Amino acid sequence: MKKRVRIYAVLLALALLLSGCGNAQTQTGMDGTAGQTERENGQGSLADDRETAEADKSVYMDPAQDVESRVEALLAQMTLEEKIAQMVQPEQAGITAEDVSEYGFGSVLSGGGSAPSTGNSAQDWQQRVNELKAAALQTRLGIPLLYGVDAVHGNNNVFGTVIFPHNIGLGAAGDPELTERVAQAAAEEVRAIGVQWTFAPTLGNPQNERWGRTYECFSEDPQEVAVYGAASIRGFQGELGTEEYLDEKHVLACAKHFIGEGYTTDGINQGDVAMTQEEFDLLLESGVIDPYAAALNEGVRTVMISFNSVDGVKCHENRHLIRDILKGELGFTGLVVSDYNAIQQLSGATYKEQIRQGIDAGVDLFMEVYSWQDFMKNMKALVEEGSVSAEQIDDAVSRILRVKFEAGLFEETIGAETEQALLKKVGGEEHREIAREAVRKSLVLLKNETQDGKSALERLNAAENIRVCGQKAYDLGSQCGGWTISWQGMSGKTTQGTTIIDGIAAQVMPEKKLSHDVKGEVLEENDAVIVVIGEGPYAETDGDRTADALKVSADDAVMLENLKASLKEQGKQDIPVIAILIAGRPLNITEYLDDFDALIMAWLPGTEGEGVADVLFGEYDFTGKLQYTWMKDPADIEDKFAEGNEDKVLFPAGFGLSK
Ligand code: GLC
């Protein structure tokens, strides 16, 4: 669960305790402190000013009408409060269904790991999501609620769902059609719980793997990102122009994070791109904008703005990027959503000024997760004082309504039989097979030494008593990585799936003997070693590393030293050692390379660990290729693309061996 959610929950409990009342909706101020509630101090909530006129639904509820007529007919009936409520996206952990009915929020999200209070099964989620969607229909105009989650490698918050390889692995797989099928399967598992929107795919092209979000991106090359991003969007949404597009088995995708996140100094998450705006515009024109152009071509209807800044100016207040380039040059007519409380990082001296900066720059929907009452009050004040125009509000709300009409939300039957049918597919064999195929294809063979005419992998297959070393050989949480069950991900058996060693056992036993060890000790009878090493789960800033920290975890380093000593003690230095790396990015493994007879980059494969054994022992070959330039020493990452630095590169982008 996002630690922010925990803090809020404590504050809310504290506030309830202090206020002594059952379900007071506390107004969290900017610093998250619980304050007075609107209703308690008798000022009445924003909702009390709402007109009670009977809605005229004749046009906007008629699917035979064209979208723009429906938008116009609905907008014309909306009060300022109703418009402003459509522009805010609270976190589900901080609101009740009554709040949804009373305020008429346009959208609600579950941040990473923000599961219903009842539990984390698909059924728990379906119940919570549909409770909130039903509450939205109780409002005067009955504008449907758009629910968003980060389904970035499957419906990854929910227990028991299929967790697919993270995008860095899908890029390595080099198969856009597979990427599309992965996204389609994920869309079904998301739609099954009533959610209609995923904040995916990430379209960054990381230049520096010190960045904690490298694994969320397909490639360092924006042209590659454009291909896989479009395929992912096609899978999530269905193909533009076909019956499938945004039907009840698909979800809205989100092109994120606009723009430049992969270019920050030292790969610092939410950091600054040290370029002038002119230099940055040239960078965009050189190709970095192409993934977004491709996404728009593919019919993406939501774009999330990036936390990073350019030349010190935060993207969320960069009018030139959002209004001139995204909405202007690219002609984007969908909705622009801000990132998680990102408005609160803007240069304005007050929250009110920050909100003004956000809408002025072109943000339409504000992911202001706990300060939603502050947001609505300040936005109303900005309009009433003339700092924000009615046109700006109407443009933002029109975009939100347009996307809702296009996505069929006004025709959606809550808990429809489509949803029930999809619920049966959650975590099912069909999707697990797609994920297993994605694991197989994502693996990159980086070394496969030949000795006496046999490759390391041939010698492994000829072995009869295999030792599997390393804690990550049976750590489902590590092989899934961040954004799994919880925001940061966790080591251990966090959901249902198959570990790498279980997959190997299923392939080779009982013909071969297999044993597991975490210390790095081999036995006299062993005739081959598989060692699984890497980094533990992380997300966002928690994954930012200094160059010298880009290496396998400390316990893996100790285990590798022990293994080397043990092989020597047992006189086993000639048996094949096959290393499998579980990591969200290239790591510094140069010092170990000579100790490995074979080296496989498995990225963050997700729940279907058998995919690794399928290639190690099965009839499948390695087909994966690196999408990132891999340095001998991460201290040289800045020189990745400089002329004449080839000797600093360990494996170039595009590298990958076959058996
Ligand atoms: C996060 C991420 C963004 C995600 C959002 C909602 O901070 O930056 O990728 O979609 O918040 O969880």
Q: How far apart are CA 58 and CA 137, in angstroms?
A: 16
DSSP 8-state class, residue 328: I
Averaged pLDDT, 249-253: 98
Averaged pLDDT, 390-395: 98
- Cα dihedral sign, 603-295-146-387: positive
- Which atom number of ligand 1 is nearest to the Cα of residue 148? 6
Cβ–ligand 1 contact at 199 (below 6 Å): yes
Of 110, 150, 252, 484, the one to substitute when testing ligand 1's pocket (max ligand atoms within 8 A of C-beta) is 150
CA-derived radius of gyration, the chain: 26
Nearest CA owner, ligand 1 atom 3: 339
Distance 111 CA to ligand 1 centre (A): 7
Cβ–ligand 1 contact at 482 (below 6 Å): no
Nearest CA owner, ligand 1 atom 8: 339
pLDDT above 60 (res 24): no
Nearest CA owner, ligand 1 atom 10: 199
Task: Give CA separation, 241 vs 65, 238, 292, 417, 628, in Å.
Answer: 18, 9, 19, 24, 34
Distance 206 CA to ligand 1 centre (A): 17
Nearest CA owner, ligand 1 atom 1: 340
Q: What is the model's pLDDT at position 35?
A: 36
Cβ–ligand 1 contact at 634 (below 6 Å): no
- Which atom number of ligand 1 is nearest to the Cα of residue 304? 10
Q: How far apart are CA 67 and CA 231, in angstroms?
A: 26
Distance 348 CA to ligand 1 centre (A): 22
Averaged pLDDT, 593-612: 98
- Which atom number of ligand 1 is nearest to the Cα of residue 2? 12
Sheet holding 313-314, edge to edge: 272-273, 309-310, 313-314
pLDDT above 50 (res 38): no
pLDDT in tens, 459-505: 999 999 999 999 999 999 999 999 999 999 999 999 999 999 999 99
pLDDT in tens, 129-142: 999 999 999 999 99
Distance 487 CA to ligand 1 centre (A): 9
Q: Which residues pair with 176 in a beta bridge?
A: none
Distance 282 CA to ligand 1 centre (A): 27
> pLDDT confidence of 53, banded at 50, 70, 90?
confident
> pLDDT confidence of 358, banded at 50, 70, 90?
very high
Q: What is the model's pLDDT at position 49?
A: 44
Cβ–ligand 1 contact at 280 (below 6 Å): no
- Which atom number of ligand 1 is nearest to the Cα of residue 111? 12
Averaged pLDDT, 401-408: 98
Cβ–ligand 1 contact at 197 (below 6 Å): no
pLDDT above 70 (res 86): yes
pLDDT in tens, 270-299: 999 999 999 999 999 999 999 999 999 999
Distance 110 CA to ligand 1 centre (A): 10
Distance 90 CA to ligand 1 centre (A): 13
Averaged pLDDT, 595-620: 98
Lowest mean pLDDT among 3-7, 266-270, 381-385, 465-469: 3-7
Cβ–ligand 1 contact at 112 (below 6 Å): yes
- Which atom number of ligand 1 is nearest to the Cα of residue 112? 12
Averaged pLDDT, 522-546: 98
Of 109, 146, 199, 257, the one to substitute when testing ligand 1's pocket (max ligand atoms within 8 A of C-beta) is 199
Q: What is the model's pLDDT at position 51?
A: 65
Cβ–ligand 1 contact at 90 (below 6 Å): no
Distance 339 CA to ligand 1 centre (A): 6
- Which atom number of ligand 1 is nearest to the Cα of residue 216? 9
Distance 658 CA to ligand 1 centre (A): 37
Q: 255 and 304 in contact (C-beta within 8 Å)? A: yes
pLDDT above 60 (res 113): yes
- Residues involved in catalysis: 339, 540
Residues 6+ apart with CB under 8 A from 275: 263, 283, 310, 311
Distance 558 CA to ligand 1 centre (A): 35
pLDDT in tens, 95-110: 999 999 999 999 999 9
pLDDT above 90 (res 11): no
Distance 586 CA to ligand 1 centre (A): 23
Average pLDDT, the chain: 93
For 217, the token pair is: 């991106």
Q: Which residues pair with 498 in a beta bridge?
A: 608
Among 541, 437, 418, smallest CA distance to 2 is for 541
Q: How far apart are CA 550 and CA 633, in angstroms?
A: 9
Range 547-557 burial, b when 16+ CB lie within 10 A, else e? beebbbbebbe
Cβ–ligand 1 contact at 111 (below 6 Å): yes
Cβ–ligand 1 contact at 150 (below 6 Å): yes
Nearest CA owner, ligand 1 atom 7: 340
Cβ–ligand 1 contact at 437 (below 6 Å): no
Cβ–ligand 1 contact at 340 (below 6 Å): yes
Of 198, 305, 316, 340, the one to substitute when testing ligand 1's pocket (max ligand atoms within 8 A of C-beta) is 340
- Cα dihedral sign, 261-262-263-267: positive
Q: What is the model's pLDDT at position 52?
A: 73
